[in-house]
Amino acid sequence: MVTSKTKKDKNAKPAKKVKKEKKSVKKTENAQVNAVESQVQNVKSRKELVKTEQNKSDNSLAKSSEPLSQKINKRCQHIIDALKLWFKGIKIEFGKIIWPTREQLIGYTIVVLVTLGIVSLYLFILSQGFEGLFKAIGIA
């Protein structure tokens, strides 16, 4: 029996291309693994930093010779200062807002009311239609 030469599969990729693709896939996988590992390391270091800060604050409170009332006053003052800063930030942000003029506001209000009327009319007609349909069928 005579065997013919086998035709190359058109979809088959040359071995070099396959190797390159495998290498690039491994590189991206390694990069992703490295990124995840660095994120995990960052989280661990943040946790350690928080723990050391807590220990410092606990130690400073325990070692402090200040009376309790002074400690409470300092903390309250800190909270008050933070609130003042927060409200100053709000005031600055409100200054950046471009408020609509009276004419724009009236125009926007008219658009909203007209849209509300159209949607209400549409739903009313739809409701009446279904009510008539159900009465004709004998359901309601």
pLDDT recorded at residue 66: 72
Rounded to whole angstroms, the maximal C-alpha distance in the chain is 106
Rounded Cα–Cα distance for residues 108 and 104 (Å): 6
**Whole-model pTM above 0.75?**
no
pLDDT recorded at residue 136: 92
Rounded Cα–Cα distance for residues 123 and 116 (Å): 11
- CB-facing half-sphere around the CA of 23: CA atoms within 13 A: 6
The residues spanned by each domain of the chain are 15-63, 65-98, 99-140
Question: Which three-class secondary structure state does DSSP give residue 126?
Answer: helix
pLDDT recorded at residue 129: 95
**Low-confidence residues of the chain, pLDDT below 50?**
1, 4
